[in-house]
Chains A and B, each alone.
Chain A
Amino acid sequence: MKLAKLAAIAATALTIGAGPAFAELVFPSLSYRTGPYAPNGIPFADGYADYFTLINERDGGIEGNKIKLVECETGYNTEKGVECYESTKGEGSLVYQPLSTGITYQLIPKATADGIAIHSMGYGRTSAANGTIFSNVFNYPGTYWDAASIIIKYIASEEGGDLKGKKIALVYHNSAYGKEPIRTLEELAKKHGYALTLLPVDHPGQEQKATWLQIRRDRPDYVLMWGWGVMNQVAIQEAANIRFPMDHFIGVWWSASENDTIPAGEGANGYKAVTFHGVGSDFPIYADLKKHVYDAGKAAGAGDQAGTVLYNRGMVAAMWAVEAARTAMKIHNTKDITPAMMRDGMEALDVPESRLAELGLPNFTVPVKVSCANHGGPGLGMIQQWDAAAKKWSIITDLISADREVVDALIKEDSEAYAKENNITPRTCN
């Protein structure tokens, strides 16, 4: 009896001493480390994982609450992506990064019904930027339509502000992803008076001779690219082969990693792309990553992706997820956040340059402020250019804003059509 009493006292004392126990914060990672798109999937997944590891190791988690990363292999396959979602959502997953436009399209209705947020960062359905209709989908800091408009704005600045009579060709992956910018580019063509040629390339894009013979024959002033995987490498190689001026060849942010340019060697020199984050590893956060993650043997994957374009992109996605979780904790005054609270945190996300500097990421990415109505963020971008000799990218412009007049009208039109098709009553945002 004495013993039982003692045990009860000890247990009570332990409980009081330990303070409240929090559940781990679950962040699923729908990654693809296998298959033809693995070279792009691996660096993103590593950057995403390493940032969370850093938060756990350096800070003891988000506000002291540990992060649990649940990785699920999709192989960049839509069916597998949906399976991954179904098998991980029950673990209390706070937000999904589908990392594929196809998977995103499938998850939009599912995640909305389940009350879980999706962050399709710079991909997926562009009109999901309209938060009044897509309550659970976020695509900050920018959309494909922003990207298309930023590129056209940049070209206009290169051409002295006048695009009348210019010829612009779009080489695109013949898929939902590749077709995303067409509508915007067509509207911008009407506004600026350039002629747009559309050149689709079928998956996987290993053979593009006919496309580049056509470009060689038509001689467009600029070629834009919405490619992915091997399509990017072949396109850059073919452009170099036909001696297309590489500084007039501009890709979207998914056609702009080291994987895309290195195989073409010297020929890729001068190739450009739009981006929304910094390049390389010359940022203070890398010192922390080295100390708490790499040197501690806790790096994700092979630990050889640090500083690459897609690693940095994975890292920035994780950074916004952590900041959104932090915001959710503040709003709801609890460290045990639910997926619904996480969504609220994402909707109130505000990461200005001053906060980026605190995080060891000064001038690393665009300042983001999300609102109930605007889930697409600021729609800002920069242009990066490849230096083949140094084998590295460099940022060559300041932040460029998208043409809001054109893009916002398209977002409104497309999202309202979606709402009508799906019987969604738009929310009221104050």
Chain B
Amino acid sequence: MSPDFLYFIETVLNGLMSGVMYSLVALGFVLIFKASGIFNFAQGVMALFAALTLVGLLTGQVPFAHLIHAIFGVEAQHWGAGMPALLAVIGTMVVMIALAFLIERIVLKHLVNQEPIILFMATIGLAYFLEGLGDLMWGSDVKALDIGVPSGGSFWWEDVTREWAAEGSDYFGMYIDKLDVTAAIVAAVLVVALSVFSQYTRMGRALRAVADDHQAALSVGISLRTIWVIVWSIAGFVALVAGIMWGSKSGVQFSLSLIALKALPVLILGGFTSIPGAIVGGLIIGVGEKLAELYIGPLVGGAIENWFAYVVALVFLLYRPQGLFGDKIIERI
């Protein structure tokens, strides 16, 4: 094969992998929207908050250390050497469940039967509150996150693909990031687990019932409030996974909340109510933007991948407003 063709394959492959990273964020949006009709603006910040908490537990950081120092004059930055990775992940998940419980108790409970735009506004407030809380709890410095997720280019893949090039060509193998491969595997496991949960468990069926029709679900005794806590907890778990993957890539810092911007075109394309849609949407956006950046970018000055993703999403929106896999909205008069 010619090196140019191999570069093309490399771009597509890396686009797919980037797309999986976007899907990890988009999944959280889909779960909450599907179960409650809320577009959770705070999903990106939840990923940040989860990652901050995880690093805090891993490194044995005392939460609210600066605040404690300012009020009580007690200097206590660390409580010890920190937790092992698995314990820290479990600890973070407990925090995310507690957060889901508090969100339901303090915010959502009071907004039942409100217009979707009101709930959306509430999540904007929640996003800013969580960002401030994260800053207050764990500080705003950039934190390295290493829980042993493999990263860096794969030598093995480079060696294998070097053989594919035509003899005598100066080709040095195809690049793939081990972190992206791990993310793809994690995303696949996540989708399977979520599908099994929603198809084969009692709670999953209750979630689907609520997603289909709130009123009907309530009439058969399903507690909407319990369902919301569960769904926000699951979204918190997905946020934690996304936070781990993105945090391992760029360090844990407040820009992490901006990954939500990467999920928006994915949602527009895949639909707000479909888990497979989030995955397929992510893959299409990932490949589209990478090909655009590498092949169209140099012709127009570069840096087009961010807005190109939105162009792709807009084109889909014009022809299929509900997205590729979203439920068609039929309003009967």
List residues of chain A with CB under 8 Å of any chain B CB: 33-36, 38-39, 42, 174, 198-202, 204, 206-207, 209-211, 213-214, 216-217, 229-230, 233-234, 237, 240-243, 259-260, 262-265, 267, 302, 304
Contacts and interface: CB of A to CB of B under 8 A. Distances in A.
Interface string B236-254: 0000000000100111011
Contacts, number: 118
A35 B142 contact: no
A148 B323 CA distance: 47
Interface residues of B, number: 50
Given A263-B142, A267-B152, 5 more contacts: A38-B135, A209-B17, A229-B255, A241-B151, A241-B175
Contacts of B302: 174, 198-200
Contacts of B250: 206, 230, 233-234, 237, 263
B294 A214 contact: yes
B153 A233 contact: no
Interface stretch (B7-15, B221-229, B269-277): B7-15
B294 A36 contact: no
B305 A302 contact: no
A198 B300 CA distance: 12
A233 B294 contact: no
Nearest to B305: A210
Contacts of A216: 175
Given A204-B258, A216-B175, A259 B142 contact: yes
B140 A38 contact: yes
Given A210-B294, A213-B10, A204 B255 contact: yes
A241 B255 contact: no
A33 B140 contact: yes
B255 to A, nearest CB: 4
A93 to B, nearest CB: 26
Given A39-B142, A262-B144, A302 B66 contact: yes
B283 to A, nearest CB: 14
Contact of A213 (B140, B143, B175, B249): B175
Contacts of B303: 174, 200-202
9 contacts: A38-B135, A39-B142, A207-B18, A207-B262, A209-B290, A229-B255, A233-B253, A241-B175, A302-B66
B164 to A, nearest CB: 16
B204 interface: no
A198 B66 CA distance: 42
B141 A42 contact: yes
B290 A210 contact: yes
A38 B52 CA distance: 15
Given A206-B262, A213-B10, A36 B254 contact: yes
A217 B66 CA distance: 46
Interface of B: 7, 10-11, 14-15, 17-18, 21, 65-66, 69, 77, 132, 135, 139-146, 151-153, 175, 177, 246, 249-251, 253-259, 262, 289-290, 293-294, 297, 301-303, 305-307
Contacts of B307: 202
Contacts of A34: 132, 135, 140
How would you classify the secondary structure of chain A's contact residues: helix, strand, loop or mixed? helix
A237 B302 CA distance: 21
Contacts of B144: 262-263, 265
Contacts of A213: 7, 10-11, 14, 175, 290, 294
B142 A209 contact: no
Contacts of B305: 202, 207, 210
Q: Which of B10, B139, B257 has the most CB of A within 10 A?
A: B139
Given A210-B290, A241-B151, A36 B253 contact: yes
Nearest to B155: A243
B182 to A, nearest CB: 13
Contact of A39 (B14, B66, B141, B293): B141
Contact of A217 (B7, B77, B249, B255): B7
A42 B139 CA distance: 11
A264 B65 CA distance: 26
Contacts of B69: 302
Given A201-B303, A202-B305, A240 B152 contact: yes
Nearest to A210: B293
Contacts of A199: 302
Most buried by B among A240, A241, A242: A241
Nearest to A39: B142
Contacts of B297: 210
A237 B247 CA distance: 12
A206 B141 CA distance: 17
A243 B176 CA distance: 12
A209 B18 contact: yes
Contacts of A204: 255, 258
A237 B144 CA distance: 11
Contacts of A198: 302
A230 B141 CA distance: 12
Which 10 pairs show the lowest CB-CB distances between chains A and B? A263-B251, A210-B293, A200-B303, A230-B255, A36-B255, A259-B142, A38-B140, A174-B303, A202-B306, A200-B302
Contacts of A207: 18, 21, 262, 305
A35 B131 CA distance: 9
B12 to A, nearest CB: 11
B195 to A, nearest CB: 28
Chain A CB within 10 A, most for which of B177, B251, B305: B251
B301 A200 contact: yes
Nearest to A201: B303
A304 B76 CA distance: 12
A323 to B, nearest CB: 30
A242 B153 contact: yes
Given A174-B303, A213-B294, A233-B142, A241 B246 contact: no
Nearest to A257: B142
A33 B307 CA distance: 29
A243 B18 contact: no
Contacts of A267: 152
Contacts of B301: 200
Contacts of B255: 36, 204, 206, 229-230
A42 to B, nearest CB: 6
Given A198-B302, A210-B294, A233-B253, A241 B258 contact: no
A201 B143 CA distance: 22
B249 A259 contact: no
A36 B301 CA distance: 26
Nearest to B258: A204
A259 B139 CA distance: 13
Nearest to A263: B251
Contacts of A234: 249-250
B29 to A, nearest CB: 17
